[in-house]
Amino acid sequence: MVGAPGIFDRADKIADHPRSLRVFRHILLGLTAATALWGCSSTRRVPAGERLLVDNVVEVEGKGVSRSELDEIIKQQPNEKILGARFYLSMYNWPDPDKIAEARARKDAARDRKNERRAARGKAPKPYSRTTAEWLREVVGEPPVLLDSSLTRRSSDQMRLYLQKEGHFNGEVTDSISFARPNGRPYHKPKARVIYSVEPGRAYSYCTISLRTDDPTIRGYLREAWPDRLVMEGDRFDADVLDRERTRITNRLRELGYLHFTRDLVQFDADTSAGDREVDLVVRVERPGPPRRKNLTGTPEGTIYQVADVEVDLRPRQRGKSTIPPDTIQLEGYRFLYQDRVPVKPQALLGSMFLRPDARYQQSHVDRTYRRLTALRAFDRVDIAFDSAQVRRPDQVNAKVRLIPART
């Protein structure tokens, strides 16, 4: 078990069972009091040779990294506590598994006999239901979280990656397992704490930032917006900010007509040999792959597209490919397709169409068109696609807007 579910998730799980809340109400008070007396019973179902994970401790030397974010990285969390007691673990431990099996066998046998009689009378069989002990163990209870050293190592590795993403390239993380309480007294039961010691060191910052791309048009557009970039000389290296910068560049170019430009065409090279805790950053805008295929000039990814025609398909759902040609309406440059009758007047849709025939492609026009058409609530489905199969020039695409009318 990697982590414990939240108290509200568990409450929803309990409420899903017809008799759960009633049984829970009767036993909760007594079991809560008993839980306080059963502190020593938290390890009663821990197998021989295993240890119950009771705590994770993250020790950070200095400042600069978030202890709470490091804690979220840990792959294995102890059993949940309520008012200082591991209530759900106690509910799991309390029923005896052997007695549960015996009760299950008796209940199954009784149900089988009843169902035979019900079948003879033509009635439906009684469904399977848990015993009270099974309900306590399987619905309310939470199995013990046993220390897993492989998950501890994975947690340390993920913390190191986190430090690197935050610019702490020389950061160190060590983990150790303690069989003693924080005050130094050893546990008398098979319990363990995991201690993560984090030494982030000083973070790296940007010394120089440069742009590299073979396409002069793209270079010009990005240079115009270079003052708006999210990474500046002197800033701390931060992989999350770089990811947002990748999104900013992608959105700008798609807004300028680069239909096929995607995020993976923006890469970053960070050279940490620049100086004392400094990084020389190169922003590469190019195609992935071998050097001979990296250039963007003359490729679909490096082309500014024009929307030639906009086709709006209003036909209902069809099984298979229809052999009946659709009816068409031409209105203000748009071509509307329908079958037999028009489900929505084309004139009423024009105010929601921001994709324009014979206009440059813009991602915001696609997004606004989709949002406005969806908001009409007249369609079960809205799809927008682009096709370059039947165009006059290689820098043109046709827009196809598929609107499946809502069922009435």
CA quadruple 126, 129, 132, 134: dihedral positive or negative? positive
- The tens digit of pLDDT for each residue in 27-76 reads 554 554 455 444 446 888 899 999 999 999 999 998 889 999 999 999 99
Q: Residue 26 above 80 pLDDT?
A: no
Q: What is the mean pLDDT of residues 140-150?
A: 94
- The tens digit of pLDDT for each residue in 357-402 reads 999 999 999 999 999 999 998 999 999 999 988 899 999 999 999 9
Q: The whole model's pTM is what? A: 0.78
- Please tell me the distance from the alpha carbon of residue 241 to that of residue 236, in angstroms, as a whole number: 10
Domain boundaries, given as residue ranges, for the chain: 7-199, 205-302, 306-405
- The tens digit of pLDDT for each residue in 155-190 reads 999 999 999 999 999 999 999 999 999 999 999 899
Domains 205-302 and 306-405 share a fold: yes
- Could you tell me the pLDDT band of residue 21, with boundaries at 50, 70 and 90? low
Q: Which fold has domain 306-405?
A: Ubiquitin-like (UB roll) (3.10.20)
- How far, in Å, are 110, 221, 224, 251, 286 from residue 228 at the CA level? 74, 12, 9, 13, 21
Q: Which fold has domain 205-302?
A: Ubiquitin-like (UB roll) (3.10.20)
Would you state the pLDDT for residue 8? 46
Would you state the pLDDT for residue 18? 52
